[in-house]
Every structure is written in C-alpha cells, then in structure tokens.
A and B are shown apart, each in its own frame.
Chain A
Amino acid sequence: MTDEELMAAFRGGDRDAFEALFDRHHLKVIRFAARMTGDPGRGEEAAQEIFLRIARAAATWEPTARFTTWMYTIARRTTLNLIRDGREAGTAVPIPPGEEDGDGFPLHLSGPPALEPDRIVSNNQLRERLEVALGELAEGYRSAFVLAAGEGLSYLEVAEILEITPQAVKSRVFRAREMLASLLSEVAP
C-alpha cells in the first residue's frame, strides 16, 4: 500500500495503517529532527511530538497531497518550535537580505585536500563540528539542505514544504554547502 492509501485507511479507523506508516517513516523523521536540532536525543523527542501531531492532524490531510511532503512540513514546524522553545532569543541566524535569490557573496573555500570523506566520517571531532556547523546555519538554509541533501527530496518537494520557489531552494542548498565547507575546512588538520 502507498503512504496515501495507508493514511486514508488510518482516517477510516485502521490502527494498523498508522503503525505501518510509523514503521515506514520513523527513522527518517528521527534523523531529520536530529539533524535539525543537532542532538540525537532531542531528535527522538521531536519525532515523538511529530507523530503525535500527524495523528492529531490526520483529519486535515488532503488525499491529493503527497504524504511525505505533508509529514516533513509537520516535522519541520514541530522541530522549529522545539528549537525555539529550547534556546534563548537572539541565537537565530537570519538569512541575509538579498541572499535568497542566489546573488549573495561568494565564499572563499579553502579547497578539498584536507576534507577527504573518510577523514570526516572517521574523525569524531569533525563529525561533531559538522553538527555544530549545521546548527550555525540560518534555519532556512539548514532546512533546505537537510531536506534535499539529507532526506533526498526534490527541490520541488522542498519548495512546497518551505513554501518558497524551487530556484530559492537551489540557492539555499548551495549556500549551505558553501558555508559548511568553509566552516569544516577551518578545523580540518
């Protein structure tokens, strides 16, 4: 059964359908929330809240909408609320004006020699730095990057979730990669 059929069955009173949706997507939701919060523990906490909201909002789900798009929309909003509730005001990093359209300043990258994939994966310091660097991105960049690069969604789906244009998604993901590369190259040995 497709996600949409399972969702329709759940709305029709089928408990097993919801459980099937959970089994199918809970790892994605936990991973997304962990990446957005930068904390696996909070990621699980967020994932619980996300599935609660999915169940609460089931009646509002439109059968024409793709389930995963709807799910990630809820996941993003829920995660942002948790982040907002858990941190002090002033730490949010806004997207600089004029940067959204892709005409922002070019970053000077230090180049790849120090950033081999194996070294990043095997080096705990770099992995932690990656989480920190991700947390330093503006939420708009982080969401776009996590959804596109982390969850493999198309720019069109990401655009729908973030309620922006596909071109803006393309620009945000690019900027996120540039900034992460820059931040990580600073700590690479």
Chain B
Amino acid sequence: MNCNESLQIASARIDGQVTLGEVRALDAHLASCEACRGADRAMRTVNAGFIAAGAGPSVRSGFKSALFDRLDAEALLPPRKGRLLSFPVWRWAAVPLAAAAGLALFMLVGREAGEMRPTGQQVARQDVPVETIISVTSPLTHGAAGENGVRGAAAVARGASVLSPEEAEIVANLDLLEHPAAPEDAPADLDEMLTPSAKGQG
C-alpha cells in the first residue's frame, strides 16, 4: 500500500466507510510512515472543525411560516384545516339527527312520566296483594264509580288485613259481583254457592 492509497483509506475511515481489512492495512502503513500519520491527523482535525462549525444551524424566527405561506400561495399543499372546518361532514349531519333523537326521547319519557304519575289507586297498588287489586279494578268497582271506588281504594290502601265486614263480603262474593247475571243461577245455600262446579259435575 502506497501513501496515496493509505490516505484515501484514512479519509474513508473518518467517514466510517472502510472494511476491517482496509483498517488493518492502513494501521500497518501508518505505523511505519510519519508523513501519513501527520496527514491523517490533519484530516481528522479539519473534519472536526468542519462539523463543529456547521453544527446546529440557527434558523430565523418566521422561517417556517414564511415557507408555508409561499407553499399555500402556490397551492402546493392541501388546504389548512381549521378547527370548525376540520369537523367531518358526516359529523355535521349527525348534529340534527342527534337533536331529533334527543327530542323524541324527551317526548317519550315525558309521556311515560305522565302515564306513570301516581293516582290514589296506583299508589295503593304498590303495597297490596294481587287479589285486592283485582277487587279494586273490577268492573263493579269501576262501574260503581264514586263511593264504591273510593271506598274500595281506601280499603286497599289500608291493606288486605284490615277489611271492613262489608268489604270482606264483597271480596267473598267476587264472582257474583263480576258476573251480575250469576244471581239468577246462583245456588240457594252457601255450600252450593262456594262450590259452583259441583252442580255441573253432578
């Protein structure tokens, strides 16, 4: 390896562009050549100074905005997206739909709330046995309107365990009350009345 070849490799080594074999050959040459050792150090020094001098270039403020203004002026970039404009079209379409859905939900809930608004009878229903509720809502009770209904509701409100004798009689004759025509066929005595199916079976 002559001096010119060794210095080319020395230069390439600074750039990290050498093979292991080249490095070994270079080091062997430099060990025996004072001039090449000096040239190698000089090249390294120049390189270090060059890199240090150009490190971290300063950029004036406004450089980027000036460039992007030029790019926009030439229409080289897609349009800048503003916050409002960047809202996708499909999302804009969703706004009235969401409003309509909200309104419909409000109306539905409002109507159900109106239907669920507790009346005297409905409040009572929450705490009474099913049988008692049937008695309150039976045709007789509704048909009687006024006094019977109110009284029935009052009885229900008090609970099934505190029925007055009159109310107890109504409950006991529930079938009879729900079928007004029944008394014509009704049995004469109480036993027959309590076992209406026995007659048919007989």
Contact = CB atoms under 8 A, between A and B. Distances in A.
Contacts of B95: none
Interface of B: 3-4, 7-8, 11-12, 14-15, 17, 38-39, 41-54, 56-60, 63-64, 66-68, 70-71, 74, 76-81
Which 9 A/B pairs are nearest by Cβ-Cβ distance?
A: A120-B49, A112-B41, A117-B48, A174-B11, A55-B76, A111-B38, A115-B45, A181-B42, A15-B78
A55 B8 contact: no
Contacts of B46: 115, 120, 130, 177, 180-181, 184
B67 A117 contact: no
Interface residues of A, number: 53
B60 to A, nearest CB: 7
Interface of A: 13-15, 18-19, 22, 26-27, 30-31, 34-35, 40, 43-44, 47-48, 51-52, 55-56, 102-103, 106, 109-112, 115-117, 120-121, 126-127, 130-131, 134, 148-150, 154-155, 170-171, 173-174, 177-178, 180-181, 184-185
A121 B49 contact: yes
A127 B50 CA distance: 8
B11 A177 contact: yes
13 contacts: A15-B79, A15-B81, A26-B59, A27-B57, A47-B63, A48-B67, A52-B67, A112-B45, A121-B48, A121-B52, A149-B50, A177-B43, A181-B46
B11 A117 contact: no
B41 A102 contact: no
A169 to B, nearest CB: 9
Nearest to A104: B4
A150 B59 contact: no
B8 A102 contact: yes
A148 B15 contact: yes
B15 A181 contact: no
